[in-house]
Amino acid sequence: MNDREPLPPRKSAYALVPAASIRDDALRLFAAALGPGAPSLDQIRASWWTRAQPHCAVAAVHIETGTMVGLCAGRPSEWIIAGQTVPAVAVCDWYVHPNHAGKLIGKRMVQHFQRPGRMLYGISISDIAIAYLQRLGWVGPFASALLVAPLPRLGHAAFSLFATRSDLDFSDHVVGAGAPPGSLASFGDDLDRLESCRAPGSPDHMRRGAREWSWRSSVCGEHSYRLSIAHQAGEPLGYVAIRLMAPGRIRQLGKRQAAMITDFVATKDDPKLLRALARRALAMAGELRAVAALTTTTNPIHRRALAASGFVSPAFPLIGGALARRAPVFMWLPKGAGASLKADHMELTFADAAVDLDL
């Protein structure tokens, strides 16, 4: 029998603190250490989580030196899974200082966002992060479909010659910078009604009601979204949202501006309704003088409607292969609220992570 005193738990050399509490000089050194492909100091300062609640991003600090050695953000939302509303967090902006790799810092930061009953997932994940998350028990990666519409104004004009739903009325709104005070209140009820009227058996998805849009508008900074809601006889049937991307974010376009379709929502997947929403998105992108419009989706019915409305899909010869290679992938932790999820029954777009908030 061993009668020696048990050893006390080993104290970690690293502490997790709110990322918002990190000083600019520490952020500068951290950004410089990450190397090519990582965000610059200016990009980190402009990140959505700097305008969000402190619990939305965590930093790892080396206790002995006070050096910032890790960053991980978690975009909060609610999901509808099997008809039930559950809290969710999309892990994003995940980086570890190369001199402190192998210390389980990445694991600690991801697990910081785990809670009983919370869904934990990610989209647009790097190859390094994929391998790491797989070791933490996440499932995937699973591919989305990336679609692009070059010259959206011309695409809208060409495809408007085909039959469209003449029984639809569209109301347009702005969310974020430049929106009139209290404007969300004027159409928030429509967004909540759309969510409550989703067809039974609809894919599991992020809840896109007034509360979600209120939160998004509070963290989008200088960006703004344009929403167009489709009505029939006064009842909302669906909506599409777009946002101009920051110039230079797509290397192939240089400083020319592209638009991102962030949300594509319908109460039921009626092909004519979906095509009308897709064409409305092209029209809005053209009005904003975007040279291209792009989006991603995991819903095959949405993908077909977008392809039928002027978007180049992964099935398109030659160009489609490049789109398939660049399509964002998604993963999730199959525990708690995420235990019952299936990749072919999930509906994700750019807005389901923080991609639409930072690009």
Tell me how far apart the alpha carbons of residues 46 and 32 are, in angstroms, rounded to a whole number.
Answer: 16
| CATH number of 268's domain | 3.40.630.30
334, part of any domain: no
Provide the CA 36 distance to its chain's centre, in angstroms. Answer: 23
Same domain, 296 and 203: yes
Same domain, 260 and 111: no
Tell me how far apart the alpha carbons of residues 232 and 2 are, in angstroms, rounded to a whole number.
Answer: 77
Same domain, 45 and 153: no
What total of structural domains would you count in the chain? 2
pLDDT digits (tens, 9 = 90+) for 239-274: 999 999 876 665 555 567 889 999 999 998 899 999
340, part of any domain: no
Same domain, 186 and 76: no
Radius of gyration of the chain (CA): 22
Looking at residue 167, its pLDDT comes to 85
349, part of any domain: no
Same domain, 124 and 193: no
Same domain, 133 and 149: no
Last residue of a domain, one of 142, 157, 181: 142
Last residue of a domain, one of 142, 158, 187: 142
Same domain, 89 and 135: yes
pLDDT digits (tens, 9 = 90+) for 306-325: 999 889 888 877 777 778 88
pLDDT digits (tens, 9 = 90+) for 181-211: 788 888 999 999 999 999 888 999 999 999 9
24, part of any domain: yes
129, part of any domain: yes
- Average pLDDT (281-289) is 91
Tell me how far apart the alpha carbons of residues 94 and 124 are, in angstroms, rounded to a whole number.
Answer: 11
Q: Which domain covers residue 51, as residue numbers?
A: 14-142
**Environment class of 130 (CB within 10 Å of its CB; exposed 0-12, middle 13-18, buried 19+):** middle
Q: Using a pLDDT cut of 90, give the percent of the chain over it.
A: 52
Instruction: Give the pTM.
Output: 0.87
Higher pLDDT among residues 357 and 26, named by residue: 26
Same domain, 292 and 151: yes
